[in-house]
Amino acid sequence: MNELLLIVFSPLIAGFLAWLLRVKGVKEAVGIIGSLIPLILLIKAYPSLSQNNLTFTLNVAGFEVGFMLSRLSWVFSMIAAVVGFTAILGMASTAKDSYEWLFALMSLTGVLGVFTANDLITFFVFWEVMTFASFMMVFKFNRGASLKYFVLSIIGAYAMLVAIGIIYAKTGSITFADISTAFSKDAMSKMLGGSGIFTKTETMLIYGLFLLAFGVKAGMFPLHVWAPDAYSETNQSYTAMFSGVLSKAGVYGFILLYVLMYGKLIVEFGHFRSAPAFGYIIAFLGGLTIIVGGILAALQEDIRKLFAYSSISQIGYILVGIGVGTALSIEAAIYHAISHALFKGLFFLIVATIIYRTGKTEFKDFGGLAEKMPFTFAMAFIAILSLAGIPPLVGFASKWLIFEAVIHENLPILGGMVFFGSAIGFVYLIRFTYAVWFGQRPSDIENTKDAPLPLAIAMGILGTLNVIFGVAPGLVAQELNKLFGQQIIGGNIWELDLGFGRYNGLLLTIWMTIGLLIAAIVYFLGASVRKVPVTDTYQSGNPVTMEYNLTIRRNFFLPLKEAMAFWLRISFDKLYHDIWKSMEDFAETARNYIYNGNVQAYAWYLAIILIILAAMGV
Amino acid sequence: MISAYYFGAIALVLIGLYAVLVKKNLLKILIGLSIMETGVNLLLISIGYVSGRSAPILSEGITASKAVDPIPQALVLTAIVIGVATTAMALSVAIILYEKYGTLNIEEIRRLRG
């Protein structure tokens, strides 16, 4: 039995068993074991990666389904396995029936298959397994959201299928290695003035189709509209995997684009400033994703929606990193993909805990939970610091790398977008911090208990990893260096050294700890505390009147919303809805005119078609 | 030069089609359908005709090589039966429509149906 096969299919088998058994306790155990097997096998497979890649080919009715575990796919599969395992663990508390176990585990199989696929058909098949399973998860909770997700995903999937078809028709091969060779040969002959197998138009078409396919999955602007609804309207433990891992499939796709057709795209598109032009398009859309996601996250009143938009915003950073296209920026992007999976997974598990314990989702119903849920609050604290990019957590290391990569390439617009995204990150996080954990506690959540054990363990795993990879950023960086086979980020496991800037996680931790100790000593020695009522809120020096009702729990960013009213009216969600609506209207009108119930009209159609056929000489 | 049989048969079909497309009276449309059907049957028969041969009934002096094509004749026999059956059913529908709406004008019926 091949290990790769077990890694990919054990969640699916466990999911089916859990679905068939339906016994409380047993199905949870089966599901958790099923998601643990890939994690263990991936760790076990790590030493053998240094010799050669693990491969496996499965023959299904004449089709060859190829899997390969390279270093790149190992990194992504590990993200999937770790976050997937914690999400499944969290589901032990939050899942209501075996249906959810089946599809959550099926989507884990899908995403592992996408990461380990060795040819485009396998990639596509598992891509669809992943889409289908996550659609079913959303479908159970909200039909509208699931349909929007499904329609956009299907558009993306068909775009990818067409692109695969063109590539296959031209090169006659579907394995990544062959396609990559074909494209680089093509680029070479193009540079020497020959006529390659792909024309410029075809290359652009393939690029555009892949951009659509991967952009939908990653939640890239303006294709992000499905994400907020789908992320918020499902089992929140599952969202940890949905947002943390499934969106990485799109990111992985963009990296695949580099692996397959980098040279060809450079030759056809040329450069824009210091970045390749095709990458700059991805990076610019990524930058817009950061801004749009960030601002919309700040304006949400629902805790789940806030993190859904924030997740979109963070994916933007990864796209910027990938788009800039230097070895350093791609490494930074993969680093941020890892840290995004870790902190966003943690965030959604925290949201799952809060909703599981209180049953409320809106900011106005929360407050003062830090006392009641100390462990969850500690985890939330780690996650907030990590997302906001405060050292010594993993979010800082990865964001810092992206900043450095963008600045080093001298791209001011992208730099501005990335910095803006970081600032807006604080804006929405401060809201989550204060509205949920501090302040007055509403009386109906007075008896809230702390997280249930499975969720607590899951959060603990992700929280610990957030801290470890933050204090020792080199652990990840050294591994990523091996992807490129050269030292791109220098330093040891505590320190990142780029040559023009360095960051030492351990040293910073020590200094911060000392600083905090001094502050604690000062506080306990002589701080005089004044009690302030919660309603004592001021805005620009003026007391806030009741008609505005600006507390941090309700309409806190109303002035921002009013200031941006014009821009907020431009909504892609509405645009797609309008397009869909007018298509429906058009079809309805056409139907009424053509299919009008008049038999004589149908006879006319027949006669006309017969005349046309006769004229064509059929 | 197109054979007179073909020409006549196709002309009948077109006359029937004209009635179906243009006439407003349901009975006239049904008459048109009947004419079309006759035209089609005649066309089928004339396709199977080989000049100078006799009916495909094997008897004295007539072998298989001296008969016209028997297949269109079998086809037409079936088609005639189907044609009569559909005409009978369409006529019964016409009777019901007249009882219900009091008119046989198809546009009037469509308007009354709403």
Question: CA-to-CA distance for B25 and B27, rounded, in angstroms?
Answer: 6
What number is the average pLDDT over the span A456-462?
89
Give residue B70's pLDDT: 86
DSSP H or E segment with residue A542: strand A542-543
Residue A603 with chain B: CB contacts under 8 Å: 17, 20-21
pLDDT band at A549 (very low <50, low <70, confident <90, very high): low
Helix, coil or strand: residue B62: coil
What is each CA distance from A112 to A6, A262, A284, B43, in whole angstroms? 11, 24, 29, 66
Give residue A604's pLDDT: 87
Residue B21 with chain A: CB contacts under 8 Å: 600, 603-604, 607
Of A617 and B91, which is predicted with more confidence?
Answer: B91
Q: What is the per-residue pLDDT across A112-169, written as a single tens digit (0 to 9) for each?
A: 989 988 888 888 989 999 999 989 888 888 888 888 889 889 999 999 999 999 888 8
DSSP string computed for A248-301: HHHHHHHHHHHHHHHHHHHHHH-EETTEEHHHHHHHHHHHHHHHHHHHHHHT-S
pTM recorded for the entire structure: 0.81
Asked if the Cβ–Cβ distance from B106 to A600 is below 8 Å, we say yes
Of A158, A281, A152, which Cα lies nearest the Cα of A219?
Answer: A152
Is the pLDDT confidence value at B76 over 90? Answer: yes
Give residue A184's pLDDT: 84
The amino acid occupying position B47 is: I
What is the DSSP code (8-state) at residue A551?
A: B
Is the pLDDT confidence value at B74 over 80? Answer: yes
Asked if the Cβ–Cβ distance from B21 to A603 is below 8 Å, we say yes
Give residue A583's pLDDT: 92
Question: CA-to-CA distance for A286 and A333, rounded, in angstroms?
Answer: 11
Q: Which of A595, A599, A600 to mutate to test the interface with B (most CBs of B within 10 A)?
A: A600
Q: What is the per-residue pLDDT across A58-99, written as a single tens digit (0 to 9) for each?
A: 777 667 778 888 888 888 888 899 999 998 888 888 877 888
Of A305, A146, A140, which Cα lies nearest the Cα of A226?
Answer: A146
Of A230, A199, A372, A248, which Cα lies nearest the Cα of A308?
Answer: A230
Q: Which residues of B touch A (CB under 8 A)?
A: 17, 20-21, 29, 106, 110
Is the pLDDT confidence value at A546 over 60? Answer: no
A604 touches chain B (CB under 8 A): yes
Q: What is the per-residue pLDDT across A526-544, written as a single tens digit (0 to 9) for each?
A: 767 777 665 555 666 666 5
A176 contact partners, CB below 8 Å, separation of at least 6: A68, A118, A119, A120, A256, A259, A260
Phi, psi of B105 (to 5 degrees): -75, 120
Half-sphere exposure of A334 (CA within 13 A, CB side): 30
Question: CA-to-CA distance for A261 and A276, rounded, in angstroms?
Answer: 12
